[in-house]
């Protein structure tokens, strides 16, 4: 099909009657401002835009766009690997703490607290991550979670008492909880459809490699040094995210259409494809507003069948996975092999246990 030249004002006509914002006299000034911003954005690009005929799913990026998506994904992967460090840290620290001739020497009960308190703090961060990433954006949320992660590692590295060590583990667990959801949402919103499934799955691989990395460090270094070295990846991730764009979807939902266009153009490497995909996002947003679904309450949204069914299935799967004991294997890798009478060197046993447990996940 031949390309169609869009004349002045054609973008306004894209918002047909069924998707135009239903502005009434009762609408707030904020809604009026958003609509004016949308119209201003559409007018600003109408004289230069040349969009190919839209075919759903055919929003392929240029080579440059794919490269940008992969580079931004790498920034998230560095953070995901850093989030894997607290999980594997207990397997590194507990055997060393049991043999220390200091006030930090632990018994089995304190060891179980050190191992499990991280997982107890993670849900707290997870519950807050949703409102935070909607308020300040996906990228900024990922950057924000670096702070408690670094603070947690500093507390652990300088700890001279059990309570201080537990506080550091809580901070790390809280940070990991905040990071989990925004990383998936961010990668899903910046990636094009044909790459989305691949890119969304990569943080789990990086997370597993982060656990493996901290095992390798613990085999050669004291646990305090491992804690300090675990700061490196979060810092690198924070710096890399400074050069990454915010999610175009989030920007469009906030009425920041020009910023969304700039981010989408960078991610797709082709302004025409970026305009077409952004128009689809804006159209979906306006349809949502017209149906009155934009501000649905949380529980009203969850009760809807398309949301409730997958939510129940995913949570049931996660509960069964956790109850299977995979995290117990990760937390106590060395102790499990020793108690089983294994002859493998402890560091090798940690690596094997990590690979096995992550394969199950």
pLDDT over 70 for what percent of the chain?
69
Asked whether residue 88 falls in the same domain as residue 219, the answer is: yes
Question: CA 325 to CA 40: how far, in whole Å?
Answer: 56
Asked whether residue 197 falls in the same domain as residue 337, the answer is: no
Alpha-carbon separation of residue 155 from 105, 116, 202, 227 (angstroms): 17, 17, 30, 9
Q: Is residue 192 part of a domain?
A: yes
Q: What digits encode the pLDDT tens for the residues 144-197?
A: 999 999 999 999 999 988 899 999 999 999 999 999 899 999 999 999 888 888
Q: Is residue 25 part of a domain?
A: no
Asked whether residue 166 falls in the same domain as residue 314, the answer is: no
Cβ neighbours, 10 Å, residue 281? 18
CB-based contacts of 322: which residues, under 8 Å, 6+ apart? none
Which residue, 179, 214, 244, sits at the end of a domain?
Answer: 244
Asked whether residue 168 falls in the same domain as residue 268, the answer is: no
Q: Is residue 132 part of a domain?
A: yes
Q: Is residue 321 part of a domain?
A: yes
Mean pLDDT of 84-97: 87
Mean pLDDT of 46-53: 43
Query: Burial code of 76-105, b = ≥16 C-beta within 10 A, e = fewer?
Result: bbbbbbbbbbbbbbbbbbbbbbeeeeeebe
Alpha-carbon separation of residue 37 from 34, 65, 124 (angstroms): 5, 27, 37
Question: CA 246 to CA 242: how far, in whole Å?
Answer: 10
* Contact (Cβ atoms closer than 8 angstroms) between residue 271 and residue 262: no
CATH number at 138 reads: 1.20.1250.20
Q: Is residue 335 part of a domain?
A: yes
**Residue 316 is part of which domain span?**
298-361
- Residue of 239, 185, 252 lying closest to 71 (CA atoms): 239
Asked whether residue 266 falls in the same domain as residue 280, the answer is: yes
CB-based contacts of 176: which residues, under 8 Å, 6+ apart? 83, 86, 87, 118, 122, 125, 145, 149
Asked whether residue 131 falls in the same domain as residue 275, the answer is: no
Work out whether the CA dihedral 221, 149, 106, 351 comes out positive or negative.
negative
Asked whether residue 156 falls in the same domain as residue 205, the answer is: yes
Asked whether residue 322 falls in the same domain as residue 183, the answer is: no
- Residue 55 has what pLDDT? 43
Q: Is residue 155 part of a domain?
A: yes
Mean pLDDT of 288-304: 64
Which residue, 177, 211, 244, sits at the end of a domain?
Answer: 244
Does the pLDDT at position 312 exceed 70?
A: yes
Q: Is residue 57 part of a domain?
A: no
Q: Is residue 48 part of a domain?
A: no
Domain count, the chain: 3
Asked whether residue 284 falls in the same domain as residue 312, the answer is: no
**Which of the two residues, 282 and 233, has the higher pLDDT score?**
233
Asked whether residue 348 falls in the same domain as residue 206, the answer is: no
Asked whether residue 167 falls in the same domain as residue 302, the answer is: no
Asked whether residue 256 falls in the same domain as residue 303, the answer is: no
């Amino acid at each position: 099909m031949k390309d169609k030249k869009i004349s002045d004002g054609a973008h306004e006509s894209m918002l047909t009657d069924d998707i135009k914002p239903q502005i009434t006299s009762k609408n707030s000034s904020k809604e009026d401002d958003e609509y004016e911003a949308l119209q201003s954005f559409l007018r600003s690009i109408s004289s230069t835009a040349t969009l190919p005929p839209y075919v759903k799913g055919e929003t392929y990026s240029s080579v440059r766009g794919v490269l940008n998506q992969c580079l931004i994904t790498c920034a998230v992967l560095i953070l995901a690997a850093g989030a894997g460090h607290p999980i594997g840290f207990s397997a590194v620290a507990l055997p060393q703490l049991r043999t220390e001739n200091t006030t930090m020497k632990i018994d089995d009960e304190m060891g179980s607290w050190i191992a499990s308190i991280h997982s107890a703090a993670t849900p707290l961060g997870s519950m807050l991550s949703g409102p935070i990433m909607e308020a300040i954006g996906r990228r900024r949320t990922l950057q924000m979670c670096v702070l408690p992660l670094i603070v947690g590692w500093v507390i652990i590295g300088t700890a001279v008492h059990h309570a201080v060590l537990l506080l550091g583990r809580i901070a790390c667990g809280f940070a990991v909880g905040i990071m989990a959801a925004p990383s998936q949402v961010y990668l899903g919103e910046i990636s094009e459809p044909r790459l989305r499934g691949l890119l969304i799955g990569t943080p789990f691989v990086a997370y597993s490699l982060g656990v493996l990395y901290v095992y390798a460090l613990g085999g050669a270094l004291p646990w305090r040094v491992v804690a300090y070295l675990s700061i490196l990846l979060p810092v690198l991730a924070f710096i890399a995210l400074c050069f990454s764009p915010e999610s175009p979807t989030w920007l469009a939902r906030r009425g920041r259409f020009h910023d969304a266009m700039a981010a989408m153009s960078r991610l797709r490497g082709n302004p025409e494809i970026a305009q077409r995909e952004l128009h689809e996002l804006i159209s979906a947003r306006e349809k949502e507003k017209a149906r009155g679904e934009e501000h649905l309450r949380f529980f009203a949204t969850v009760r809807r069948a398309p949301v409730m069914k997958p939510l129940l299935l995913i949570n049931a799967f996660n509960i069964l996975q956790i109850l299977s004991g995979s995290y117990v294997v990760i937390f106590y890798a060395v102790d499990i092999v020793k108690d089983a009478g294994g002859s493998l060197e402890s560091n090798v046993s940690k690596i094997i246990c990590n690979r096995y447990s992550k394969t199950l996940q």
